[in-house]
Structure 1
């Protein structure tokens, strides 16, 4: 009855972990039959997952059933909980049921309490892969340094900060860029015993010329650096980022920054109250947001929020995303 709970927002690490299980347990000859990827957002696929985990694998090796966006331990659903509790004991020993979700299992749910008992009995394994929050500067820096060290790369002075600015909170790109750096450093290092040290000047030569993410765009917007924000927006659009999803992310974050700014301006200091109004789960984040909006006026944030809502309306009418973002943001500068 090998059940594996995987959660966390580092989807690259989650996928690598799942692939490792499949490579170790499933016969390559029977892999197309004995591996299933199903989506927990679909009730029919949840039912299919429950059916498949009770089916022994065909041929040699094991069967692996992956239920992504697993709702069993994140959403209250008594039907799913009861069904899972009834069938879990009947899962064949050579069938692996992988339950994956970005969210951590909700400890208040009966299903989570049930699975915790199984974990204590070593009947279920739980693994988490979480990236530090984008606002957690020290956490991101530690994560980057640990990742680099795991690849036998030491970071020179200022290297971590430049890498963070270039890549952001993207573990997949981070490992790719560090892998390129390792090849470069190894080739230029004649003394094989000498440790590989990645310096600032080398980062500019090795890493991609342009990386972008939504939080860099937000930083540019908060600094009223509209030209740079549009460059990054256009870059993401060219990479295939859906315009509505990109704008929704901007609206969500700018809304939080605006609320924190207005509450701070009004004299509100109670962190639980601010968290509740701004829908912030970690009170520590408020310190970072206040720092970011310290030199940004309330009127500018309100105007920015209004323009982003106008962008949403215009995008839903089918207008060209490149033109829409440019027309509605350029008048802010």
Structure 2
């Protein structure tokens, strides 16, 4: 199929897929003649892309036409829709036409339905930080791609350390590959502890300090994360994931549930054996404190997205969270 639609917020994974598609499509000696990237702010970008796609390639290889950051699947005027309906079924096999966008295509509009019929669609979404099973699955997939053999504990620790940062995952696995080639064998938990920059792990430590109401420790961890250039919104995402898990565990326990598998399913915890430890963590904490913490975290996220000073805003809300658990969090 010569038409592709890539969408999602994981820009690093998408760019790797685009590079792979480009390498498979173009002859290196003729790439400058047969490759066209059309930005969304260019006049008549969609029409230009369709016209280029219908133009036979020069020399060897195929032609690649990339319509970047298009809004075609969010809104599409009738005249453009008519051009798409006329052109997409006629795209020659010698051409690859690629559409990319960050947002999810609107499945209700006709242009999206048309692309669903004529294009190969691939999603590059960021995995929520609390979905540990998906994060570990992603680690295994990329490790296999890079050529690194990881022990089960190394997989878990690496997923906890890098979270949903795909760029860092590739960087750390390439580092571990060099280690494996020099040492031989499977990369174990000790190697990951020694070599991987655990920014997400520090965010998890921040969550634990907040839960204990340890303001000094929490502020020190915030400073450490910012000194490591960890994005503020990524810190918040990790905090939200951890407090969401704690809240679900507490809710299930307070409702009288004792089955660890049922609690794990509700809290989206892959390994039911973790529930024992999570129960111990939330036992001295009130349900009210956990509920209110998510509201504070929402305020933190909204302020960051609206342009607040990241370090000052993060510190103020972390202090508020610590005070919350000092006041209401502990029974």
Q: TM-score, normalised by structure 1?
A: 0.65
What is the aligned partner in structure 2 of residue 121 from structure 1? none
CA offset digits 1:93-149 (Å, max 9, x no partner): 43321123455655444334333443xxxxx43444556543222232233234334
Distance 1:102 1:85 in 2: 23
Q: Does 1:6 align with 2:1?
A: no
Q: Does 1:298 align with 2:288?
A: yes
CA offset digits 1:2-55 (Å, max 9, x no partner): 212334554433322221221232243453454333455888544543444344
What is the aligned partner in structure 1 of residue 200 from structure 2? 212
Paired residues of 1:6 and 1:101 also in contact (CA < 8 A): yes
Gaps of 5+ in 2: 256-263, 270-274, 323-331
What is the aligned partner in structure 1 of residue 98 from structure 2? 98
Paired residues of 2:37 and 2:65 also in contact (CA < 8 A): yes
Q: 1:203 aligns with which of 192, 197, 201?
A: 192
Alpha-carbon spacing, 1:102–1:218, altered in 2? closer, same or farther (3 Å)? farther
Alpha-carbon spacing, 1:135–1:309, altered in 2? closer, same or farther (3 Å)? closer
Paired residues of 1:66 and 1:99 also in contact (CA < 8 A): yes
Paired residues of 1:311 and 1:325 also in contact (CA < 8 A): no
Distance 1:89 1:311 in 2: 44
Distance 1:213 1:184 in 2: 21
* Partner-residue secondary structure (3-state), 1:198: coil
What is the aligned partner in structure 2 of residue 162 from structure 1? 157
Shift of 1:60: 4.8
Alpha-carbon spacing, 1:148–1:35, altered in 2? closer, same or farther (3 Å)? same
The RMSD of aligned alpha carbons is 4.6
What is the aligned partner in structure 2 of residue 53 from structure 1? 53
Alpha-carbon spacing, 1:324–1:137, altered in 2? closer, same or farther (3 Å)? closer
- Tell me the matched-pair count: 296
Q: TM-score, normalised by structure 2?
A: 0.66
Shift of 1:200: 1.3
Paired residues of 1:213 and 1:232 also in contact (CA < 8 A): no
Q: 1:135 aligns with which of 112, 130, 137?
A: 130
What is the aligned partner in structure 2 of residue 182 from structure 1? 177
Q: 1:235 aligns with which of 225, 232, 251?
A: 225
Distance 2:71 2:56 in 1: 24
Paired residues of 2:303 and 2:313 also in contact (CA < 8 A): no
Distance 1:252 1:205 in 2: 24
Gaps of 5+ in 1: 119-123, 190-195, 269-283
Distance 2:38 2:227 in 1: 28
* Partner-residue secondary structure (3-state), 2:186: strand
Paired residues of 1:212 and 1:232 also in contact (CA < 8 A): no
Distance 1:146 1:238 in 2: 27
Shift of 1:160: 1.9
Distance 1:137 1:251 in 2: 11
CA offset digits 1:273-302 (Å, max 9, x no partner): xxxxxxxxxxx9963499899646435654
What is the aligned partner in structure 2 of residue 329 from structure 1? 318
Distance 1:26 1:65 in 2: 11
